[in-house]
């Protein structure tokens, strides 16, 4: 059931927030002037949680962890200026915030430059209360609606983690990003052990609940920025792990096995243990122009097969 909340003059469903686990919209103000931070915060406080950064570097860092819906970005700042900050923000994976430039300059040349840099709008100083509120609430609403629709397309209906379609898109995107940066990209493919027996013993409904609990635990266990948990199909899940090497990834696989076993979800019909476990196949590779993302999947898949063969409830590393 939806409850409703106001953003500016608009009433919107709180389910738009629920997808992100947020309770309200998030607005980030990046401005070196404390006075401007205070003025803008006072004007916008009804619209959501307000966070402030005093310079560009801090703003980029906060944007990475807060995933704000709207960023108000001062153009003239010491150190990195607003255009440089905007460029860095846009390079972040999964960046979806609406950037509104804040500038003392008006005129078409500045407007065009701001929009060319990737901003959705700009606000001129001195601030006009009604104009600031109207512009921010319009972009906040648009950002939430876009985000909500994107989630409907990209999320798995049963478990709430990302779906296979999003996995395919993100793996291709991360592959290109890691090829450019020459960094190692890793993948975990995992499968619930003896899941057919679980369904047969407890029914499909209980099987669905089990998949939800596993997905929730996997999502809680992946904390680094850019890590993406997806339902790969049936009782199989895949996790994309950016900037992760062969040495690191096996440890992560063991950790996932432990986390799921620690749930102690009773499994009434398996030959070895009385609770639900997973098997995990892992792979990590430095992408090259000659290789393709499917090599990463094939290696993780072969490793998953080995983990099953060797007795389940364990993680194996594949060769890619």
Minimum distance from residue 159 beta carbon to ligand GTP (Å):
9
Number of shown-chain residues binding ligand GTP (CB under 6 A): 17
What is the DSSP code (8-state) at residue 155?
B
Task: Pick from 74, 156, 193, 301 the residue near ligand GTP by CB under 6 A.
Answer: 193
Nearest to 217 by CA among 276, 168, 301: 276
Minimum distance from residue 265 beta carbon to ligand GTP (Å):
13
For 177, the token pair is 């990003």
CB of 208 or CB of 247, closer to ligand GTP: 208
235 is catalytic: yes
CB of 7 or CB of 229, closer to ligand GTP: 229
Number of helical (H) and strand (E) elements in the chain, helices listed first = 11, 12
Q: Nearest 5 degrees, angle CA 197-CA 201-CA 204? A: 85
Integer Cα distance of 24 and 6 in angstroms: 10
Q: Mask 213-252, x = binds ligand GTP (CB under 6 A)?
A: ---------------------xx-----------------
Nearest to 89 by CA among 106, 101, 104: 101
Indicate whether 192 belongs to the interface with ligand GTP (CB under 6 A). Answer: yes
Choices 73-81, 112-120, 197-205, 258-266; region in contact with ligand GTP by CB under 6 A? 197-205
Q: Whats the size of the chain, residue-wise? A: 320
Residue 188 has φ and ψ, to the nearest 5°, of -115, 125
Minimum distance from residue 117 beta carbon to ligand GTP (Å):
44
Choices 38-46, 72-80, 194-202, 217-225; region in contact with ligand GTP by CB under 6 A? 194-202
- Which member of 76, 174, 235, 247 is catalytic? 235
Indicate whether 195 belongs to the interface with ligand GTP (CB under 6 A). Answer: yes
- CA dist 80 → 33, 61, 69 (Å): 14, 13, 22
Choices 38-46, 101-109, 187-195, 293-301; region in contact with ligand GTP by CB under 6 A? 187-195
Task: Pick from 46, 96, 169, 208 the residue near ligand GTP by CB under 6 A.
Answer: 208
Task: Pick from 92, 199, 221, 245 the residue near ligand GTP by CB under 6 A.
Answer: 199
First to last CA, the chain: 46
> Binders of ligand GTP among 140-159, rule CB under 6 A?
158
Indicate whether 281 belongs to the interface with ligand GTP (CB under 6 A). Answer: no
Using DSSP's 3-state secondary structure scheme, residue 223 falls into coil
Beta-strand pair 185-192/70-74: unpaired
Count CA atoms within 13 Å of residue 50 on its CB side. Answer: 17
Choices 24-32, 49-57, 176-184, 193-201; region in contact with ligand GTP by CB under 6 A? 193-201
Minimum distance from residue 305 beta carbon to ligand GTP (Å):
9
Task: Transcribe 6-72 into DSSP letters.
Answer: EETTEEEETHHHHTTT-SS-EEEEE-S-HHHHHHHHHHHGGGSEEEEESSHHHHHHHHHHH--SEEE
Task: Pick from 63, 211, 219, 239 the residue near ligand GTP by CB under 6 A.
Answer: 211
CB of 54 or CB of 199, closer to ligand GTP: 199
CB of 159 or CB of 320, closer to ligand GTP: 159
Kindly give the interhelix angle for 164-181 and 293-309, rounded to the nearest 10 degrees.
Answer: 120
Report the catalytic residues.
Answer: 235
Q: Which residues bind ligand GTP (CB under 6 A)?
A: 158, 191-197, 199, 204, 207-208, 211, 234-235, 308, 312
């Amino acid at each position: 059931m939806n409850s409703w909340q106001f953003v500016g003059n608009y009433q919107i469903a709180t389910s738009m927030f629920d997808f992100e686990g947020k309770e309200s919209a998030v607005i980030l103000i990046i401005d070196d002037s404390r006075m401007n931070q205070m003025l803008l915060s006072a004007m916008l406080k009804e619209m959501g949680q307000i966070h402030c950064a005093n310079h560009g570097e801090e703003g980029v860092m906060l944007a990475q962890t807060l995933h704000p819906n709207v960023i108000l970005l001062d153009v003239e700042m010491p150190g990195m200026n607003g255009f440089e900050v905007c460029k860095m923000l846009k390079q972040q994976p999964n960046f979806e915030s609406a950037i509104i430039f804040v500038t003392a300059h008006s005129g078409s040349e500045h407007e065009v430059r701001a929009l060319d840099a990737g901003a959705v709008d700009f606000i001129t100083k001195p601030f006009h209360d009604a104009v600031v509120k109207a512009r921010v609430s319009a972009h906040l609403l648009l950002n939430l609606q876009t985000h909500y629709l994107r989630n409907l397309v990209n999320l798995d209906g049963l478990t709430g983690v990302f779906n296979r379609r999003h996995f395919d898109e993100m793996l291709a995107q991360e592959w290109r990003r890691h090829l450019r940066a020459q960094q190692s990209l890793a993948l975990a493919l995992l499968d619930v052990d003896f899941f057919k027996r679980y369904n047969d013993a407890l029914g499909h409904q209980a099987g669905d609940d089990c998949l939800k609990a596993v997905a929730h635990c996997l999502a809680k266990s992946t904390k680094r920025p850019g890590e993406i948990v997806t339902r790969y199909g049936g009782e199989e899940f895949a996790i994309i792990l950016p900037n992760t090497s062969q040495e690191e990834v096996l440890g992560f696989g063991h950790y996932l096995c432990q986390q799921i076993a620690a749930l102690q979800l009773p499994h009434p019909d398996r030959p070895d243990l009385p609770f639900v476990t997973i098997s995990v196949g892992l792979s990590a590779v430095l992408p090259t122009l000659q290789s393709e993302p499917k090599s990463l999947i094939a290696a993780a898949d072969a490793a998953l097969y080995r983990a099953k063969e060797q007795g389940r409830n364990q993680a194996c590393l594949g060769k890619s």
